[in-house]
Amino acid sequence: MIFSVAPMMDWTDRHCRFFHRSISLRARLFTEMVSTVAVLRGDHERLLSFDEAEHPVALQLGGSNPAHLAASARIGERWGYDEINLNCGCPSDRVREGSFGACLMAEPALVADCVRAMVEAVAVPVTVKHRIGLGRDESYAMVRDFVGTVSEAGCGIFYVHARNAWLDGLNPKENRTIPPLRYDVVHRLKRDFPALEIHLNGGLVDHDQIARAGAGLDGAMVGRAAYDTPWLLAEVDFRYGGAEAPELTRERVIERMVAYSRRQIARDVPLRCITRHMLGLFNGEAGARAWRRTLSDVARLRGNDPDLLWSAYDALQASAASVARAA
């Protein structure tokens, strides 16, 4: 089984991905969704550059014009991405207004044209992330026909968020929690399309749940849980990749991130752009609040000193020791 960290707008930027890669060497990482308009007209260095350590990493594109997607995919391949993923699952208003995201599930022939154009344009895999339906209609036929049509265009890998997208009446956050999870639909897709790679996404929070809900599938994609509790990634390499149990420690991750922060600050990247992704590193551990509080100190962040990470670790240890003494 393959473990992936879901693409998340405003979260899975290059600094977040480097942090996640510092914990797991094998997890499949994704960019935030980047629109074809941005790729074709924007600053490629700002939008697409990433650290070589992030491999394997996929570029997620948003768009519905086959020619634009093909051109964007070529650019992504040139920048070194290992996979090009088409977003057919995001329910936000700004995505819908651009005629892409979850609303594309209603147009499988168009998605097939988009995929075909990208497959012809690049040598790396072209994949699709989507929902299991639209609105309150929970019939299986829609997602079955969508996957069938798109797979015939050359897509062999599908990341399936096991909820419908309710495009009217719910905001994006509500769309991640209110439409019911239906893992059985994803398993049915795998039975009907055994040659395809089917990855389960939606509501997954820990490895035991993944083992239960994802049994028989090809992969699991975790979003908010991986971001909020990133130490979840520390088990990925040996659970899913066959590696030996890791000797990795959180202290070693801090060491890597301090070195990375120094390199980024030399390129005028503010320290806060990196530390904001690291607040959950000690979630569930004694002293975690002191760690978060130190890394959220605006005045100290202004100093742009990567050693703030070690100061936060010292604060965590002091807090944990105080609690232990009080007990």
Q: Does residue 89 contact residue 131 with C-beta atoms inside 8 Å?
A: yes
Q: Does residue 102 contact residue 143 with C-beta atoms inside 8 Å?
A: no
Burial-class residue 64 by CB neighbours within 10 Å (0-12, 13-18, 19+): buried
Largest CA distance in the chain: 65
Nearest one of 179, 193, 93 to 131, comparing CA atoms: 179
Element (H, E) at 29: strand 29-35
Distance, in Å, from the CA atom of 93 to the CA atom of 87, rounded to the nearest integer, reads 14
278 phi and psi angles, rounded to 5 deg: -105, 5
Distance, in Å, from the CA atom of 203 to the CA atom of 48, rounded to the nearest integer, reads 29
**In DSSP terms, which residues pair with 191 in a beta bridge?**
none
Residue 24 is given by DSSP the state -
Which residue, chain included where needed, has tokens 């988009």?
114
Q: Catalytic site residue 103?
A: no
Q: Per the residue annotation, which of 16, 90, 103, 114 is the catalytic one?
A: 90
Q: Does residue 40 contact residue 72 with C-beta atoms inside 8 Å?
A: yes
Catalytic residues: 90
